[in-house]
């Protein structure tokens, strides 16, 4: 199953980035004579058209670019923050560690999304704010995982041996701790991408995400909900695209965890 998931995901990515060039219609092309057309092979609109006569398939693919790009970029950012924070806390130990992780605990307990939403309402819809929003929520769990792994690595004999050898702390972290962190970090990062995509979609759904002319799956779903009673394909198309992508990513993340964990033990 993971292999199937991998190929499906690859197909999605390729379609999103290359597909629009191959389709007869572009995402922005409006056809006011053919609005709300249901999906049909004959008309060439495989997934129908929307309120402005734009081809839904083309729009879904283009929205996919935005959703995926934001998802991966935000995960990368949050992972870097989380890894750095967690490694420092785990390696230092003692009071530093306790304070740092207490902070994580407190923030974890907050309804962070709400503050983010309010912030976005106040400051306005900026793309960088979306990154900040997602990263701000995601880094916590990565920090926890990395801190746990670092703390347990620190107790291991080979780290003691490295100390006894005479290596300096910086070298030990770089050479021995970080490579041994790779496995859990990669696994969690893979599982974080779906989270990031979902948060972006959530924000877009609330009208706080990417602005026109950009659209993401979340904003398309929001528009789809409004018209769902008489034009259900407007909702189903982006929803299906998002669900398929997220399921594939989750399966891949699980498979990565199963494989890498066995080797590490």
Q: In this chain, which of 122, 170, 213, 262 binds other proteins, going by CB under 8 A?
A: 122
Q: Which stretch binds other proteins (CB under 8 A): 35-43, 74-82, 144-152, 235-243?
A: 235-243
Q: Is 254 in the site for other proteins (CB under 8 A)?
A: yes
Only one residue has tokens 């053919």, namely 34
Q: Which CA distances in Å does 195 have to 41, 46, 75, 154, 177?
A: 34, 29, 9, 30, 27
Q: Which stretch binds other proteins (CB under 8 A): 12-20, 50-58, 127-135, 162-170?
A: 162-170
Q: In this chain, which of 85, 91, 139, 205 binds other proteins, going by CB under 8 A?
A: 205
User: For the chain, how are helix, strand and coil distributed in percent, rounded to 5?
Assistant: 75, 0, 25
Q: In this chain, which of 77, 104, 246, 256 binds other proteins, going by CB under 8 A?
A: 246
Pair 82, 140: CB distance under 8 Å: yes
Only one residue has tokens 């309804």, namely 111
Pair 214, 66: CB distance under 8 Å: yes
Q: Is 201 in the site for other proteins (CB under 8 A)?
A: yes
Burial degree of 148 (CB within 10 A; 0-12, 13-18, 19+): middle
Select 30 or 178, whichever has its Cβ closest to other proteins. 178
Q: In this chain, which of 23, 27, 37, 242 binds other proteins, going by CB under 8 A?
A: 242
Q: Residue 23 has what DSSP assignment? A: S
Cα dihedral 59→64→65→67 (10° resolution): 130
Whole-number minimum distance, CB 159 to other proteins, in Å? 8
Q: Is 47 in the site for other proteins (CB under 8 A)?
A: no
Residues that bind other proteins (CB under 8 A): 102, 106, 108-111, 113-115, 117-119, 121-122, 156-158, 160-168, 175-176, 179-180, 194, 198, 201-202, 205-206, 221, 224-225, 228-229, 232, 235-236, 239, 242-243, 245-247, 250-251, 254, 264
């Amino acid at each position: 199953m993971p292999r199937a998931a991998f190929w499906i995901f690859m197909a999605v990515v390729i379609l999103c980035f290359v597909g629009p060039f191959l389709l007869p219609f572009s995402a922005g092309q409006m056809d006011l004579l053919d609005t709300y057309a249901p999906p049909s092979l004959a008309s060439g609109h495989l997934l129908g058209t929307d309120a402005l006569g734009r081809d839904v398939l083309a729009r879904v693919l283009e929205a996919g670019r935005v959703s995926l790009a934001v998802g991966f970029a935000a995960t990368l950012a949050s992972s870097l923050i989380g890894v750095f924070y967690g490694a420092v806390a785990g390696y230092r130990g003692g009071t530093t560690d306790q304070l740092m992780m207490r902070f994580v605990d407190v923030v974890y307990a907050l309804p962070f999304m709400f503050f983010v939403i309010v912030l976005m309402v106040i400051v306005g819809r900026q793309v960088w704010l979306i990154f900040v929003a997602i990263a701000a929520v995601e880094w916590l769990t990565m920090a926890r995982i990395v801190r746990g792994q670092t703390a347990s690595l620190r107790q291991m004999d080979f780290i003691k041996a490295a100390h006894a050898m005479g290596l300096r702390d910086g070298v030990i972290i770089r050479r021995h701790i970080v490579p041994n962190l790779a496995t859990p970090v990669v696994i969690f990062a893979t599982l974080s991408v779906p989270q990031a995509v979902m948060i972006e979609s959530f924000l877009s759904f609330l009208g706080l995400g990417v602005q026109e002319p950009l659209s993401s799956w979340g904003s398309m779903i929001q528009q789809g909900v409004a018209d769902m009673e008489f034009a259900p394909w407007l909702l189903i198309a982006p929803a299906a695209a998002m669900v398929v992508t997220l399921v594939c990513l989750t399966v891949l993340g699980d498979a990565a965890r199963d494989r890498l964990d066995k080797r590490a033990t």
